[in-house]
Amino acid sequence: MLNLPVLDDQRFEDIVTEAKKRIPQLCAEWTDFNEHDPGITLIELFAWYKQMQQYHLDQITADHLRMFLKLMGIVPEPVRETRANLLAAGKGIQEPFACGERLYSAGGVVFELEESWNPGHVRLCAAYAGRNERPDDITGLLNQWKVFYTLTREETLYLGFSFSGAKTDLELWVEIDDRHPSPRNRPAGPDDPPPRIFVIEAMDGARRPGTGAAG
């Protein structure tokens, strides 16, 4: 990380004092250094100009930040509306919401639905994980809101959903836990495992793993 120099390193009083100290060397006849002297007034004026220039030189403006980002090949995205994901946390939320309906956050921010949403239409009801033919049932961990399982090589995570009414397209939102991030762009060592490849598959009406019952 670069150590940026501090350009605004003098106060107004420091600049005036330094200028007064040089007066005897430049003009020995000038002996009145009080504020009522017209020459001192001019010194204070130019000291104020100098202090203002130092202040502005020491600032990093929004234009500077955009130029720095451009040097790194980063172009900021244009201004656009804010988007958010919704979570139906209450058990009583079952009624569908129409496209364009307005929702309000706790802080009073207004959001509009881009598409219709039925919070009671799809429910995550089962979860299994493991690498053998009879994976572990981890359904009881779904409501704990914790990182409950770390998949290793050739392991599978099964998620079961229940639908009420006609079946529609299902969008699955996955959020990566980054509280223990892995180092990126690090040269691979001889003992490092190969990169993980995740395969996502959907089964409609298939058997629930390890039970033989219809899912």
pLDDT for res 214: 36
* pLDDT of the chain, 215 residues: tens digit per residue: 567 778 888 999 999 999 999 999 999 999 999 989 999 999 999 999 999 999 988 888 888 888 888 998 888 888 888 787 776 666 666 677 888 888 888 888 888 888 887 776 777 888 888 877 778 888 888 777 665 566 777 788 888 888 776 666 777 777 766 665 566 556 666 676 666 677 777 776 655 444 433 33
Q: Output the CA torsion sign for 73, 79, 81, 82.
A: positive
In the chain, where are the structural domains located?
12-72, 117-178
pLDDT for res 210: 46
Quickly tell me which residue has 């409609």 as its tokens: 204
pLDDT for res 212: 39
Cβ proximity of 210 and 155 under 8 Å: no
What lies within 8 Å, CB to CB, of 165 at 6+ separation is 118, 121
- Decide: helix, strand or coil at residue 158: strand
User: Longest Cα pair distance anywhere in the chain, in angstroms?
Assistant: 108
- Decide: helix, strand or coil at residue 210: coil
pLDDT for res 11: 92
User: pTM for this structure?
Assistant: 0.44
